[in-house]
Structure 1
Amino acid sequence: MKILLIEDDLDLGNGVRIALSEQGMTVVWVRTLADATRCLEHDGCDLVLLDLGLPDGDGLRLLSQLRRNRAQGDWGTGVPVLILSARDALSDRLSGLDGGADDYLVKPFVLAELLSRVRALARRSYGFDGETIEVRGLLLHAPTRRVSIHGRAVELTASEYALLKMLMMRADRVLTRRALEEQTLPGGQTNASNTLDVHVANLRRKIGEGFIRTVRGVGYVIDVQPPGGAA
């Protein structure tokens, strides 16, 4: 699971980064809104940990942009956000939650509680318990990298596994071709060939039609509920 940590405090940021990394999560740590925006635009993530008091502005500004993008299908669409803030007044918590945050944790906090809330958000947003992802009988077990469909084992290449895991982790969210290529293909190759299409075709053959849907001109998505027809 890839987490974008937006926190300007060096000690706190480093502590959170280490704690999450020890749980097997990939952490990208930035300290400004500008760097956070660039990461979301170009790299994407599965969950955002957002401080509000940042050197170049209020974190609520980024939260507002993320929620506008949800309606437009732009970068950061549907990414869950957990606010980390020293602002502990009820009005501040309500402002963050009403502004679109999925959870709000007041500083100082215990790292064990942060980890628990991150896992809860992952389960709620992606159906991911840290080990297993399941979508309509399609099962991916992360520790062993085993994949099965209705109990039948499926053998995948490393690139096919990475592609399937990314799609399943973000089920019901359309992923662009660029994001899929950069994060699942060797060397992050983009626009160089039809390699991504070949991997998608192979996955469809191995797991069956009706899971990976083409969104023409954009990319691919795995629907939690069966679509009317798979492309």
Structure 2
Amino acid sequence: MRILVVEDDVGIASGLRANLQQRGYAVDMADGIASAWSALRMERFDAVLLDLGLADGDGSELLRRLRSSPVPGSGQPQALPDPSIPVLIVTARDQVHQRIAGLDQGADDYLAKPFDVDELDARLRALLRRAAGRAAPTIRYADIEVDPAARTVRVQGRPVDMSPREFSVLLVLLEARGRVLSRQQIEERLYSWDAAIESNAVEVHIHHLRRKLGSACIQTMRGVGYFMPQDLPA
């Protein structure tokens, strides 16, 4: 899952990035409203961590602009971000009225600094789960059970070893099951701007997943991309 962190304190930003990357997220950074808006227009993110006290203005202005954006594909002449992207405010403003204001302005959750990174991760998982339309903390698909919190996979109750990247590819395809994703779309969900990507990385990960989970789980639409069927035949 790919996260945009909007934070102008270099120390906090680097710490957040390192901790989130250790938990399997692809993380991109923006240090203000202008750079964050440009990033949201250019790339697709699964969630935004938003500080409010930014050098070029109040982060709530970015939130307002985001929530008032037209839905992409509605005939707009320029690229626009998805107005429904989950936003978690992470800020030192911890008064009750400030939290209420942030949530009323369109934030999906609010976390006051200082915070525990494990709690941040749990809140992120909850946001991503709701955005995907899931209520259960685990994902079940045929005889496969995936636990995003523990980052574990079981097939018929037996654990399956996976690399962090294989797990991430599986999670992306599971969340989009029934829809075809191109290699570029998968890469965009897995890699930050500065990540080095081998040309056949996605194909290699999918080959390994098929070997571990069964070839029917991930199918190819030639010339288009990969998908997991909505339901596997019995």
**Residue 110 (structure 1) aligns with:** 114
Distance 1:95 1:221 in 2: 40
**Residue 125 (structure 1) aligns with:** 128
Question: Where does 1:1-231 land on structure 2 (aligned, <5 Å)?
Answer: 1-69=1-69, 71-72=71-72, 75-76=81-82, 78-106=84-112, 109-112=113-116, 114-126=117-129, 134-137=139-142, 138-140=144-146, 163-168=169-174, 170-171=175-176, 177=182, 178-183=184-189, 187=197
Distance 1:81 1:11 in 2: 21
TM-score, normalisation: structure 2 = 0.59
Note the alpha carbon deviations across 1:46-71, whole angstroms, 9 max, x for none.
33210112223321222233334585
Structure 1 runs not aligned, ≥5 long: 190-194
TM-score, normalisation: structure 1 = 0.59
Greater RCO, CA 8 A, separation 6+? 2
**Structure 1 residues 162 and 118, CA, compared in 2 at 3 Å: closer, same or farther?**
closer
Give the superposition deviation at 1:149. Answer: 6.2
Between structures 1 and 2, the one with greater helix share: 1
Note the alpha carbon deviations across 1:121-179, whole angstroms, 9 max, x for none.
31353289xxx9514444346799876666699999x99865432233x559x897553
Number of residues paired by the alignment?
A: 208
Give me the identity figure in percent: 31
Distance 2:25 2:172 in 1: 14
Instruction: Assess if the C-alpha contact under 8 Å between 1:7 and 1:51 holds in 2.
Output: yes
Distance 2:124 2:37 in 1: 21
Distance 1:143 1:124 in 2: 13
SS of the residue 1:45 aligns to: coil
